[in-house]
């Protein structure tokens, strides 16, 4: 979707503000927000693509007014309601009022190290040869799906070069709405600054994205 999250090339947000010796957390609640997000995700009711889509589906005004942990929590509330773990009644009461769906699993403290160490690999075997080869010129599709996609707007309809042929990976566009992993090969595609930004672009700039095969056509 052409949502507020798709920020590449947007203007008006002002300078970057690096913080010297930045702490990992700026408030106690941020620690709990990280932990609640990870432990709730570990229930296995939704995948990372659905959670990303929940975040980018926040109203743009809300998205831009929120810190990243705030975005996480707002999206988490949506996911918990959608999957019947928490109801509006629960939120109103600030307590467990209604019964909840049964999770696939509950992440216990003793299992956290192993779970974090394992991570969630998204590579999947794909059959058949790669459609594109190293050095080949390709053009990204110009599309505007209303659902989740990982092809950013600034890189749509642009001509670039295959810089790396990667493994097969879960396809986010179908995985986010629960339509299956449908793995596809991923390619690193590199574009010149001029191709992306036109007049006045930095001539010594190259930008690459990682693109699923169906985002690409031969140039």
Partner 1 sequence: MAARVRALETILTRKGLIDPEAIDVIVDTYETKVGPRNGARVVARAWSDPEFADWLKRDATAAIASLGYSGRQGEHMQAVFNTAETHNLVVCTLCSCYPWSVLGLPPVWYKAPPYRSRAVIDPRGVLQEFGLTLAANKKIRVWDSTAELRYLVVPQRPADTDGWSEDKLAELVTRDSMIGTALAREAA
For residues 185 and 167, is the Cβ–Cβ distance under 8 A?
A: yes
Binding mask 125-154 for partner 1 (x = CB under 8 A): -------------------------xxx-x
Q: Which residue has the tokens 């990667």?
A: 166
Stretch of 113-121, 130-138, 174-182 contacting partner 1, by CB under 8 A? 113-121
Question: 61, 117, 135, 199: which one contacts partner 1 (CB under 8 A)?
Answer: 117
- Neighbouring C-beta atoms of residue 48, cutoff 10 Å: 14
Question: 103, 130, 165, 194: which one contacts partner 1 (CB under 8 A)?
Answer: 103
Question: 10, 133, 142, 179: which one contacts partner 1 (CB under 8 A)?
Answer: 10
Instruction: State yes or no: residue 46 binds partner 1 (CB under 8 A).
Output: no
Q: Which is nearer to partner 1, 126 or 197 (CB)?
A: 197
DSSP codes joined into one string, 50-83: HHHHHHHTS-HHHHHHS-HHHHHHHHHHHHHHHT
Question: 44, 123, 145, 178: which one contacts partner 1 (CB under 8 A)?
Answer: 123
Q: What is the closest distance, in whole angstroms, from the C-beta atom of residue 23 to partner 1 in the complex?
A: 9
Could you tell me whether strands 159-169 and 184-192 are parallel, antiparallel, or unpaired per DSSP bridges? Answer: antiparallel
**3-state DSSP assignment of residue 168:** strand
Instruction: State yes or no: residue 33 binds partner 1 (CB under 8 A).
Output: yes
Q: How far apart are CA 191 and CA 60, in angstroms?
A: 28
Contacts (CB under 8 A) with partner 1, residues 180-209: 186, 188, 190, 196-197, 202, 204-209
Contacts (CB under 8 A) with partner 1, residues 152-171: 152, 154-155, 164, 166-167, 169-170
Instruction: State yes or no: residue 44 binds partner 1 (CB under 8 A).
Output: no
Q: How far apart are CA 12 and CA 37, in angstroms?
A: 30
For residues 152 and 94, is the Cβ–Cβ distance under 8 A?
A: no
Contacts (CB under 8 A) with partner 1, residues 54-93: 55-56, 64, 67-70, 73, 76-77, 80, 85-86, 90-91
**3-state DSSP assignment of residue 42:** coil
């Amino acid at each position: 979707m052409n949502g507020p999250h798709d920020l590449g090339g947007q203007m008006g947000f002002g300078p970057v503000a690096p913080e010297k010796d930045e702490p990992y957390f700026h408030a106690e609640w941020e620690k709990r927000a990280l932990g609640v997000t990870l432990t709730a995700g570990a229930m296995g009711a939704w995948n990372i693509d659905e959670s990303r889509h929940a975040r980018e589906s926040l109203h743009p005004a809300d998205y831009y007014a929120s810190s990243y942990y705030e975005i996480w929590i707002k999206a988490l509330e949506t996911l918990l309601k959608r999957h019947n773990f928490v109801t509006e009644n629960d939120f109103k009461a600030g307590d467990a009022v209604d019964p909840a769906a049964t999770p696939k699993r509950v992440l216990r403290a003793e299992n956290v190290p192993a779970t974090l160490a394992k991570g969630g690999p998204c590579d999947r075997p794909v059959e058949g040869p790669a459609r594109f080869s190293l050095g080949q010129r390709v053009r990204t599709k110009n599309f505007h799906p209303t659902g989740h996609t990982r092809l950013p707007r600034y890189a749509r309809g642009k001509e670039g070069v295959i810089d790396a042929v990667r493994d097969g990976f879960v396809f986010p566009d179908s995985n986010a709405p629960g339509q299956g992993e449908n793995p596809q090969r991923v390619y690193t595609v590199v574009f010149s600054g001029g191709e992306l930004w036109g007049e006045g672009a930095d001539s010594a700039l190259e930008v690459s994205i990682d693109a699923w095969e169906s985002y690409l056509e031969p140039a």
